[in-house]
Amino acid sequence: MEIQIERADGVLSIVLNRPEKKNAITAAMYQEMADGLYEAEMDPTVRAVLIRANGSTFSAGNDLDDFLNDPPKGLDAPVFQFLRRISGFPKPIVAAVTGAAVGIGTTMLLHCDIVYASPNAKFSLPFAQLGLCPEAASSLLLPRTAGYQRAAEKLLLGEAFDVNEAIGMGFVNGAIDAGELDAYAFERAKRLALLPASSLRVTKGLLKGAQANEVSLRMEDEAVHFARMLVAPEAREAFQAFFEKRKPDFSKFE
Contacts of 133 (CB under 8 A, 6+ apart): 127, 139, 222, 225, 226, 229
Model pLDDT, residue 70: 85
pLDDT score of 252: 87
**Which pLDDT tens digits describe the chain residue by residue (254 residues)?**
999 999 999 999 999 999 999 999 999 999 999 999 999 999 999 999 999 999 999 999 999 999 888 888 888 899 999 999 999 999 999 999 999 999 999 999 999 999 999 999 999 999 999 999 999 999 999 999 999 999 999 999 999 999 999 999 999 999 999 999 999 999 999 999 999 999 999 999 999 999 999 999 999 999 999 999 999 999 999 999 998 999 999 998 88
Q: Quick one: pLDDT at residue 75?
A: 84
In the sheet that holds 93-97, the strands lie side by side as 3-8, 11-16, 48-53, 93-97, 114-117, 174-175
Could you tell me the pTM of the whole model?
Answer: 0.96
pLDDT of residue 34: 98
3-class state of residue 9 by DSSP: coil
Strand pairing report for 122-124 and 100-102: parallel
In the chain, the domains with their CATH numbers are: 3-179 (3.90.226.10)
Where b means 16+ CB within 10 Å and e means fewer, 198-216 reads: eebeeebeeebeeeeeebe
- How many CB atoms are closer than 10 A to CB 31? 16
